[in-house]
Chains A and B, each alone.
Chain A
Amino acid sequence: MDMSWDSWGMLACLCTVLWHLPAVPALNRTGDPGPGPSIQKTYDLTRYLEHQLRSLAGTYLNYLGPPFNEPDFNPPRLGADTLPRATVNLEVWRSLNDKLRLTQNYEAYSHLLCYLRGLNRQAATAELRHSLAHFCTSLQGLLGSIAGVMATLGYPLPQPLPGTEPTWTPGPAHSDFLQKMDDFWLLKELQTWLWRSAKDFNRLKKKMQPPAAAVTLHLEAHGF
């Protein structure tokens, strides 16, 4: 089953990349490509990470054991309040400007990445550690990609406030069971964020896409 999802995910990712391949040089020929390509790459990366996380979460939740690997497991969000929430009111989400949208993504993944690195400390099996490390690297890449888009659009990167650095050192009352719950929520929130990011970047992509007439005009001017 995992292999099947992996295969479909890879295929979807490949198809997406191929679909956009012809568009990229055409846009490049117009001179300044703008933020379009980098937004597209960021979008593709979120889809790839989404697929990658599906495999990782399955492995990790099985490692935690029942009830965390049960399909209908829905624990209270006890210690996971510090995690950045991806869910947002639809109207609010629509009304977000580009800068805020990108900033929220950047901040969310910055925090999630930091939390995710904490998982690696507990996992004992080499295979799980390797998967986690690989995913962290990919997530770091997504963070860099978002930063690139923001830089292209001229938005400054959000600076973390002193003392607000997310930490993964549970308090003395934080039991391992609650820690496992937090791990579950971390993976779940990460997945929700990847879904949301795909929508965010899809929206940005459409917004940044120049009008079709203008593109045609540019093409004619360049002898196409």
Chain B
Amino acid sequence: MLLRDCPVISKRKPESMALFAVFQTTFLLTLLSLRTHQSEVLAEHLPLTPEALKVSVNSAQQCLHLQWTVHNLPYNQEFKMIFQIQISRTETSNVIWMGNYSTTMKRNETVHWSWESELPLECAAHFVRIRSVVDDARFPEWNFWSSWSSWQEVNVQDSTGQDTLFVFPKDKLVEEGSNITICYISGNIQNDISCYLEGEQIHGEQLDPHVSTFKLENVPFIRKGGTNIYCEEKQRKAISNGTVLFVSKVLEEPKDFSCETRDFKTLICTWDPGANTALDWSKQPSQSYTLFESYSGKKKHCEEKNRCNWQITQDSQEIYNFTLITENYLRKRSVNLLFNLTHRVHPMSPFSVQFENISATSAVMTWKVHSLGDYFTLLCQVELHGEGKMIQHNVSVKANGKYLLNELEPNTEYVAQVHCADDNHFWKWSEWSGRDFTTPEAAPSEAPDVWRTMKSGSHNVTLFWKPLSKFHANGKILFYNVAVENLDKPSRLEHRSIPAPANSTELTLDGCSYQIRVTASNSAGASPAAVIVVSAAPGNKEIEEEIIEGTEDGFSMSWKPQSGDVMGYVVEWCDRPQDPLCDFQWKKLGPNTTSTVISSDAFRPGVQYNFRIYELSTKRIAHLLERKTGYTRELAPSDNPHVVTNNLTSHSFTLSWKNYSTKSQPAFIRGYHVYLKSKEEQCQPGAEKAVLPDDTVCCQYKIDNPEQKTFTVENLKPESFYEFLVTPHTSFSEGPSGTFTKVRTPDEYPYMLVHVIVPVVICVVLLVCGCLLKSQWMKDKCYPDIPDPYKSSVLSLIKSKENPHRTIMSISDCIPDAIEVVNKQEGSKIQSLGTRKSLTEPELTKLSYLYLLPTEKNYSGPGPCICFENYTYNQAASDCASCGHAPVSPEAPPSQWGLLTSSENLLKALEKNYMNSLGEIPAGETTLNYVSQLASPMSGDKDSLSTNALVPPPCSEYKMQMAVPLCLASPPPTENSDLSSITLLGPSEHYR
């Protein structure tokens, strides 16, 4: 076993030292006479230098054990002496420790003394020397130091190779938190050496060129396998050697040391052992625990770390004085416990817990306990748990316990348990023993709370009742019995049984008064009856509704009793008035109560609750007393009315929101605010300026009657924009700030205009209609038809005599100078003579127009130009050359010709003219209009056209002519040209 400190061994025991002190005076007196002689003798042999100094080493404990003697002491008697010891390290001059050691000794007696080095002794050579002095009052003349003994060298270095590095101490066992010094001896190794503790480099100081020391303070516990300290040569980077420092946790004193008995045969001692101080590598086992009882002198080594059983002998020992000793290699600790055995009795838990005679309200509980002897009484505690409650009872028990559990609730599950302790000297309760049981049902103890609602104008009565509380139900309610008795005329009782959990039933009664009795039944019986009377004349008069203010806690209300003789009052309401089922509620109050607070978890802010207060007469007839309404908390209206604008005039308009319901709002609507925005700065009378949340200023009209749902805004300006907003207001707020609606007042003149213009328009229309109806007459009067020569009688006479196929005026007989198509519209149908093919495309039109160009070979340029126009037909024609045109001579430059005769340019020019012909003929155009006074010879008789019409007629009295400028003259048609297309121009086109 390792010891913490080196043992300092002296020659004498302390007891003998004390004895010596007692008799010291006696000895001094006795020896006084010899003093002179002795002084003479000692003086001859001085000094008293310690001799035979031997030094031994305990490397593991880092101790030097010294022993020496003093041979020169005279006489064989004890002398009190002081030895001064010097210890040097490395060399004799380097004294590292010097101290005195006092002792008494005899001549030639060996003195032992030990010294513990903080540096491992292997790390350096140590040297020791001693000198002495007689510290004895009997011999004051010897009281001087002797000379030093010679130095004794202690060198415990291993005799291993000089090329090996050593680290000391080897495998040292220390306690956590202690300080330790280590060293390495490098021998002949020349390289730098670094040392590490668990990978972290440590720094020390050099003792000599080959030895370095490292002081480690407050070393921690890292692992059971020890803390590794190792050194390596820097250049080789190879571990050279190391040591393992085994750091033990500090041994703790056992806590909560306690002993008790459960049967007077065994004492069970327990404690909290604290940390385990065991180390691996067989360096230290777990701390041991030993129980020592001082009265009996017995000792027991405990197998377990936290408990120990001590056998109680039959020698009637009552008082025990235990010492619990724990120790490991480094430390020893103990705790003490003194107690009387009878005060440390921990009874075993009761057993055989039973219940007898279980009724709806009581039961008998019995149990047994383990006997502790005739002189012991146990205090047992019975606990009854049920319905969330706990009841405790204490019972004194010798062997068998019994307790009546009463005041139980019917149909309730209980758990009863019992534990016991020593009644005389309470130490600990035993563990609980318990069981559960259930009491049987009993008849309901109270009548159900019944109320009714009656529909006005009918005899339908709905009965409501509240389910009985568990306390009053005494079991599971199976059904409710309703018995109806006619009070006005004797009749048979009507019974009705409604299965639970229904809470209402509807009765249809006639106009008589009825007494209704309601009972609730479970398996054990029926409850007392709840009685209610329905009067034949309910007498529900009109009672004004009173507004009350509610709070979050409910509605506080009071009422005035009407008659002094009442059974009580009933307040009824609906928890959810918006729902169809409404969750009907009522509260019954005593006759002396004229106020109450109605509260409900279902009450919500912003919901209007209506209350009816009934008075119950002694005949159990209910009369409506008062009506109340209110909110627990009024909320701001969530929406504004939907407003319709009516009667919009230039100076006013009317706003209407008749669909807005004031009843379904989250607060009492006290009125409305009408906001009007306009460009006008001043508000109309009756309005006042208001600033909106968005800092805009507008006019506010106040309506204090919530039922007034129309408002007329007057004195407005015509043709102005106005914006309005109607919002309800309650006693504390108004509706949301919604969007404004725009309105524009109309102009005030349109009305006048309508009154003037409409009649004028009607007159004009009538006039036009009249004209149309008399159009023929008007035509005849204003512009009569020009007679048609074809239809003249003269012509018909010629026809009949000569060739019937011959016409008087044939186109083939004419040699046209030019033909102009006048008022020919795009897309007009041109009928081919033979095929009647419809030609609608403009291209075709252009082509046909092209062929209508002059073909006369002897055309000789410009001739005399005559312009005339028939405005009646509004037709234009132009003749050839000179009308408004600069005459173009044949000698015109060929280039011009070439340009103009190119078909493209020609077409363009034609197209242009043609297009112009569709519209007005612009002034300044180069064409001249020749308009015939007569229609074309073919006009009015298209069918008469024939193929020989292609032959140009030699002449024409009435011909249409178009003056085509020379620039537009086209070359004569080729052989392929279809001259028949000339005939495409029917008279009708000319007339257009």
In this complex, the member of A63, A121, A176 whose beta carbon has the largest number of chain B beta carbons within 10 angstroms is: A176
Min distance, Cβ B799 to any Cβ of chain A, angstroms: 127
**Residue A155 CB within 8 A of the other chain:** no
Q: B241, A173: Cβ atoms under 8 Å? A: no
Q: B199, A67: Cβ atoms under 8 Å? A: yes
Q: B239, A124: Cβ atoms under 8 Å? A: no
Q: A67, B240: Cβ atoms under 8 Å? A: no
Q: A67, B243: Cβ atoms under 8 Å? A: no
Q: What are the residues of chain A within 8 A of B904 when measuring CB–CB? A: none
Q: A65, B222: Cβ atoms under 8 Å? A: yes
Q: What are the residues of chain B within 8 A of A121 when measuring CB–CB? A: 282
Q: What are the residues of chain A within 8 A of B238 when measuring CB–CB? A: 74-76
A66-B244 contact, Cβ under 8 Å, with A76-B239, A122-B281? no
- Report the Cα distance A163→B244, complex, angstroms: 31
Of A67, A124, A177, which contacts B244 at CB under 8 A?
Answer: A177
Q: What are the residues of chain A within 8 A of B279 when measuring CB–CB? A: 124
Query: Contact flags (1/0) for B264-285 with A, using CB distance below 8 Å?
Result: 0000000000000011111100
Q: What are the residues of chain B within 8 A of A180 when measuring CB–CB? A: 228, 244
Query: Contact flags (1/0) for B373-406 with A, using CB distance below 8 Å?
Result: 0000000000000000000000000000000000
**Residue B226 CB within 8 A of the other chain:** yes
Which residue of the partner chain A has the closest CB to B168? Answer: A175
Which residue of the partner chain B has the closest CB to A63? Answer: B225
Which residue of the partner chain A has the closest CB to B242? Answer: A177
Q: B243, A66: Cβ atoms under 8 Å? A: no
Which residue of the partner chain B has the closest CB to A66? Answer: B199
Of B226, B230, B281, B282, which contacts A67 at CB under 8 A?
Answer: B230
Min distance, Cβ B287 to any Cβ of chain A, angstroms: 15
Q: What are the residues of chain A within 8 A of B158 when measuring CB–CB? A: 173
Query: Count of B residues near A, CB < 8 Å?
Result: 31
**Residue A123 CB within 8 A of the other chain:** yes
- Report the Cα distance A176→B226, complex, angstroms: 9
Q: B281, A176: Cβ atoms under 8 Å? A: yes
Q: What are the residues of chain A within 8 A of B222 when measuring CB–CB? A: 65
- Report the Cα distance A198→B276, complex, angstroms: 44
Which residue of the partner chain B has the closest CB to A179? Answer: B281
Min distance, Cβ A171 to any Cβ of chain B, angstroms: 12
Q: What are the residues of chain B within 8 A of A74 when measuring CB–CB? A: 238-239
**Residue B196 CB within 8 A of the other chain:** yes
Min distance, Cβ A119 to any Cβ of chain B, angstroms: 11
Which residue of the partner chain A has the closest CB to B281? Answer: A122
Min distance, Cβ A131 to any Cβ of chain B, angstroms: 15
Which residue of the partner chain B has the closest CB to A123? Answer: B280
Query: Contact flags (1/0) for A50-85 with B, using CB distance below 8 Å?
Result: 000000000000011111101001111010000000
Min distance, Cβ B941 to any Cβ of chain A, angstroms: 116
Q: A68, B170: Cβ atoms under 8 Å? A: no
Q: A65, B223: Cβ atoms under 8 Å? A: yes
- Report the Cα distance A59→B493, complex, angstroms: 93
A65-B228 contact, Cβ under 8 Å, with A76-B239, A124-B280, A176-B244? yes
A67-B170 contact, Cβ under 8 Å, with A74-B238, A177-B241? no
Query: Contact flags (1/0) for B211-234 with A, using CB distance below 8 Å?
Result: 000000000001111111110000
A176-B198 contact, Cβ under 8 Å, with A65-B228, A76-B240, A124-B280? no
- Report the Cα distance A122→B244, complex, angstroms: 14
Which residue of the partner chain A has the closest CB to B278? Answer: A124
Q: B244, A175: Cβ atoms under 8 Å? A: yes
Q: Which of B172-231 contact A (CB under 8 A)?
A: 196, 198-199, 222-230
Q: What are the residues of chain A within 8 A of B229 when measuring CB–CB? A: 177
Q: What are the residues of chain B within 8 A of A173 when measuring CB–CB? A: 158, 160
A73-B281 contact, Cβ under 8 Å, with A65-B225, A65-B227, A175-B171? no
**Residue B167 CB within 8 A of the other chain:** yes
Min distance, Cβ A223 to any Cβ of chain B, angstroms: 64
Of B160, B170, B198, B283, which contacts A65 at CB under 8 A?
Answer: B198
- Report the Cα distance A64→B244, complex, angstroms: 10
Q: Which of B557-598 contact A (CB under 8 A)?
A: none
Q: A175, B170: Cβ atoms under 8 Å? A: yes
Min distance, Cβ A211 to any Cβ of chain B, angstroms: 51
Q: B228, A67: Cβ atoms under 8 Å? A: yes
Of B225, B240, B243, B246, which contacts A64 at CB under 8 A?
Answer: B225
Q: A177, B240: Cβ atoms under 8 Å? A: no
A66-B225 contact, Cβ under 8 Å, with A122-B280, A122-B282? no
Q: What are the residues of chain A within 8 A of B199 when measuring CB–CB? A: 66-67, 70
Q: What are the residues of chain A within 8 A of B225 when measuring CB–CB? A: 63-65, 122, 124
- Report the Cα distance A65→B224, complex, angstroms: 10
Q: B281, A177: Cβ atoms under 8 Å? A: no
Which residue of the partner chain B has the closest CB to A173? Answer: B158
Q: Which of A71-101 contact B (CB under 8 A)?
A: 73-76, 78
- Report the Cα distance A18→B624, complex, angstroms: 97
Min distance, Cβ B402 to any Cβ of chain A, angstroms: 52
Which residue of the partner chain B has the closest CB to A122? Answer: B281
A73-B170 contact, Cβ under 8 Å, with A66-B198, A67-B228, A180-B244? no
Q: B196, A176: Cβ atoms under 8 Å? A: no
Of A68, A76, A78, which contacts B228 at CB under 8 A?
Answer: A68
Which residue of the partner chain A has the closest CB to B199? Answer: A66
Query: Contact flags (1/0) for A155-186 with B, using CB distance below 8 Å?
Result: 00000000000000000010111111100000
Which residue of the partner chain B has the closest CB to A74? Answer: B238
In this complex, the member of B160, B199, B226, B280 whose beta carbon has the largest number of chain A beta carbons within 10 angstroms is: B280
Q: A75, B239: Cβ atoms under 8 Å? A: yes
Q: What are the residues of chain B within 8 A of A75 when measuring CB–CB? A: 238-239
- Report the Cα distance A67→B201, complex, angstroms: 12
Q: A177, B280: Cβ atoms under 8 Å? A: no
Of A64, A67, A76, A179, which contacts B196 at CB under 8 A?
Answer: A67
- Report the Cα distance A64→B226, complex, angstroms: 8
| Cross-chain pairs A/B with CB under 8 angstroms, 7 sampled | A63-B225, A67-B196, A74-B239, A175-B171, A175-B244, A176-B244, A176-B281
* 10 shortest interchain CB distances as A-B pairs: A124-B280, A177-B242, A176-B244, A66-B199, A175-B170, A176-B171, A75-B239, A122-B281, A177-B244, A177-B243
Known: A67-B196, A175-B244, A176-B281. 9 other contacts (CB 8 A): A65-B227, A68-B228, A74-B238, A122-B280, A176-B170, A176-B171, A176-B226, A177-B243, A179-B281
Which residues of B come within 8 Å of A, CB atoms? 158, 160, 167, 170-171, 196, 198-199, 222-230, 238-244, 246, 278-283
